[in-house]
Structures are given as C-alpha cells and as structure tokens.
Amino acid sequence: MITEKKTQFLVEELDQLKKNGLFRPLRVLASAQDTEVVVDGKRVLNLSSNNYLGLTTHPRLKRAMVKATEELGAGSGAVRTIAGTMAIHEELERRLAEFKHTEASLVFQSGFTANLGVLQSLVKEGDVIISDELNHASIIDGIRLSKAERSIFKHRDLDDLERHLEKHREKRVKLVVTDGVFSMDGDIAPLAGIVDRAERFGAMIMVDDAHASGVLGKNGRGSVNHFGLDGRVDLQMGTLSKAIGVLGGYVAAPQPVRDFLIHRARPFLFSTSHPPGVAAACIAAIDVLLAEPERIERLWANTARFKAGLKRLGFETGASETPITPVIVGKGSVAMELSDRLFGLGVFAQGIGYPTVPEGRARIRTIVTSVHTDQQLDRALEAFEKGGKELGVIA
C-alpha cells in the first residue's frame, strides 16, 4: 500500500507516455542475436541489431569465450586498479592498439562508460569541449560530468566548428569530439575537415567510432583509417559491443592518455573489469576482422542492395552513407504503427521517435548485416512495400 503511494508519480508519467503513444514495452528475444530471431514468441527477420558482421554467434568467438572461462573463471573479481587486471585484459589492449595503429589503448566496461570516463576526466575547468550537436547520449553525459565549458557546433558544419574554435582560442585545452558515424542517420563525420580545423587551432580530437569499428576502414579499423588520418586523431573511442559482437568500449590513444585515464577515469577506477571470457572473445573478434575481410565486403554489398531497394520503393532514407538506413516517415505514431505492421509481416525493425530524433523526423531504423542473405533482404523489402503502402507512407 505504502509503496504504491510512493510510486504514484511514476505511474502518472507513464500514463502520459501511453497517452502519447510512446510507451514501448521491451521486445524479448528467445533466441541468439542473428539474422532471424524469435521475438515475443514470433520468428522474425532482424533489421534492428548492431551485429554488423554476424560475430555474436561466430564459432571462434564462442570457443574463445568458453575456453577462457574454463581456464580463468566466470568473473574478474575486482576493479582494474586493485586486483582486476588480468593478463588477458592487457593482451586485448595491446591487440587493439596494434589494430588501430596507436601507441596504446584502454578498455572500459562499455562504450558508454568509455565516453563517460574520458570526457569527465581528461579536461577540466578552464578547458572547453566542442561537440557536434548530434553526438551520442554517452558523449553528452560525459560532457555534463566534466568541469570544462561545453560548446555545441551545428551537425557536420565545419564553418560553425571553426567559429567555436575561434571563440575558445585562448583556452588551455580545446577538445573537439564527434561521432565517426552518427547512430540515428548513418551519416559520416567530415573528419578530414575536422582534423584540418582542429590542427590549425591546436585542439585535441576525439572520434566515437561505435558504428564505424568493424564497418569502415581497412579490416574495419574505423573512420580515422577510412579517411587516411591515422596518427592525426588523438583519441579513437570504439565499442566492442556492436560489430565486434561482444561487450565493452575502448580508447585507442597515445600512451600518456592511457596512463592518465588509469588514474582518473571513474568507471575504470570504480567499476569491476570484464570477465576474462569477454576479453578473450574480443581478441578472437580482432583475429576474425583480420582473417575474414570478406565479411565487410558483404556488409557493404548488402547495404547497397537494401538502400537501393528502399529508394526504388519511394522511401525517404535521409543522408545515410553506411549500413544504418533510416526510413523516415515523419510522425512518431506513424513510425510506431509501421514498425508494428512490419512485425506482423515478419520483420523486426524498431520505430524511433522524439526525443531520440527531432520532432517530425520519426523513422524506422534499419541495420543490415553481412550475414543477411539476398532472399532475406528481398523479403524485408516486400514487407516494407506492403506496410508502407497500407499506411500511405509510399504511393
């Protein structure tokens, strides 16, 4: 009785969400994360995962995880700075640094905590963080936790970036931060221009490659490598949870950055490290990226095929240049309705509305992977055609 009373304010807020059609129960998978999944008891084609290369179920990763777990246990038992640094954690960091062509790297529990840890600790009062307005929530939260001033530039707008750099010319440290690939639109940051501007003003650069790791660059090294900018971006943050198929985040950077973060990044200092099996599976994933580059080729071929199909049907797919393809429908309620219809037609593709994307730009967000077959993609396009026509999204 008493507890019910105390949570009444939450019930009221939830009722408001329901009234606006924005209450979304969690979709529950009863199968592995794959091109087809069992969601809420129904077998559907999956266009909603970040499993770009199909690595979540790759035999090499699974074997590595089981083997490390058998040998080293299920958990690490401590934070990295006390007794939770195992040899396998450092092996992963060496492999990541080598892969990214940087001096060092540091792994965090997730991409989210990597951004939090870096942005909160690296710069301080009197410094400035200059951030693209569409950067990921974890960057926004990291900036909120930092004592540095925040300065937000217009999305992918180099002239506006330059104005912000000019304005903060006198600051001790200027840190420019951008997503490499933007997660809701699938567009790519103009990195060459950003590096050019930042270098002219002596600013540090941080790129969040959560959606570019395993997708862009040679063997999936990311957006910095893609643009031929190796050695010119100070901090390359990436995730091990998307194309890499496991869990975690990292920063690839010069050695002093790693040494500093070990002493100051709070998620690193105060939260337990990965189970050894996670580190082992991530190492196996790097091996797969190096050994099976055809996965990335197939990912891009599938991307081209699916995008062309959506365009042919008359859908608006925005500015995407990557496997993330938004199908923009406008109103939030239409996006949710289309998502529900697609689900009825056997296709799992989530609707995304305000506040994740701007009002009036609600969408179905699709991600194809390297392991989708042509037949599966054609089936998905048929469902989009049917659902889109039923709702009048396409003619």
Q: Quick one: which of 179, 185, 187, 385 contacts ligand PLP (CB under 6 A)? A: 179
Pairing verdict, β 149-153 and 128-132: parallel
Q: Which residues contact 377 (CB under 8 A, 6 or more apart)?
A: 302, 305, 306, 309, 368
Q: Using CB under 6 A, pick the residue from 49, 105, 241, 366 that binds ligand PLP.
A: 241
Cα 353 from Cα 88, distance rounded (Å): 41
- Taking CB under 6 A as the rule, does residue 142 contact ligand PLP? no
| 153 part of the interface to ligand PLP, by CB under 6 A | no
Q: Does 110 sit near ligand PLP (CB under 6 A)?
A: yes
112 touches ligand PLP (CB under 6 A): yes
208 scored as a contact of ligand PLP (CB under 6 A): yes
Least distance CB 135 / ligand PLP (angstroms): 7
132 binding ligand PLP? (CB under 6 A): no
The nearer residue to ligand PLP, 244 or 349, going by C-beta atoms, is: 244
Residue 254, CB half-sphere, CA atoms under 13 Å: how many?
A: 8
User: Would residue 183 show up in a list of annotated catalytic residues for this protein?
Assistant: yes
Which amino acid appears at position 236 of this protein?
A: Q
DSSP string, 317-384: -TT--SSEEEEEEESHHHHHHHHHHHHHTTEE--EE-TTTS-TT-EEEEEE--TT--HHHHHHHHHHH
Catalytic residue (one of 168, 211, 274, 307)? 211
> Closest CB to ligand PLP among 99 and 384?
99
Residue whose CB is less far from ligand PLP, 353 or 387: 353
Q: Which residue in the shown chain puts its C-beta closest to ligand PLP?
A: 111
Q: Which of residues 246-305 bind ligand PLP (CB under 6 A)?
A: 249
Q: Which is nearer to ligand PLP, 208 or 385 (CB)?
A: 208
Question: What residue spans of the chain are helical by DSSP H?
Answer: 2-6, 8-19, 59-72, 87-100, 111-122, 137-145, 158-167, 191-200, 223-226, 255-264, 266-270, 276-291, 294-313, 332-344, 374-390
State residue 128 phi and psi, 5-degree precision: -140, 140
Candidates 70-78, 107-115, 300-308, 311-319: pick the segment binding ligand PLP (CB under 6 A). 107-115
120, two tokens: 């909160």
* Least Å from the CB of residue 329 to ligand PLP: 22
> Given 105, 151, 183, 213, which residue is catalytic?
183
Closest CA to 218 of 208, 209, 228, 210: 228
Separation CA 115–CA 248 (nearest Å) = 11
Judged by beta carbon, residue 175 or residue 210, the one nearer ligand PLP is: 210
| Span from 110-118, 143-151, 278-286, 362-370 in contact with ligand PLP (CB under 6 A) | 110-118
Nearest CA-CA partner of 344 in 26, 49, 51, 39: 39
> Which of these segments, 54-62, 205-213, 282-290, 300-308, binds ligand PLP (CB under 6 A)?
205-213
Minimal distance, residue 344 CB to ligand PLP, in Å: 28
211 binds ligand PLP (CB under 6 A): yes
Cβ neighbors of 133 (< 8 A, separation 6 or more) are 152, 153, 154, 155
Active site annotation includes 211: yes
User: Minimum Å distance from CB 395 to ligand PLP?
Assistant: 33
Report the C-alpha gap between 152 and 167 in whole angstroms. 12
Q: How far is the CB of 353 from ligand PLP (least distance, A)?
A: 18
Total of residues contacting ligand PLP (CB under 6 A): 14
For 291-311, letters b (16+ CB in 10 Å) and e give ebeebbebbeebbeebbebbe
Considering only residues 76, 105, 146, 183, which one is a binding residue for ligand PLP as defined by CB under 6 A?
A: 183
Where do contacts with ligand PLP occur on this chain (CB under 6 A)? 110-112, 115, 136, 138, 179, 183, 208, 210-211, 239, 241, 249
Q: Which residues are catalytic?
A: 183, 211, 242
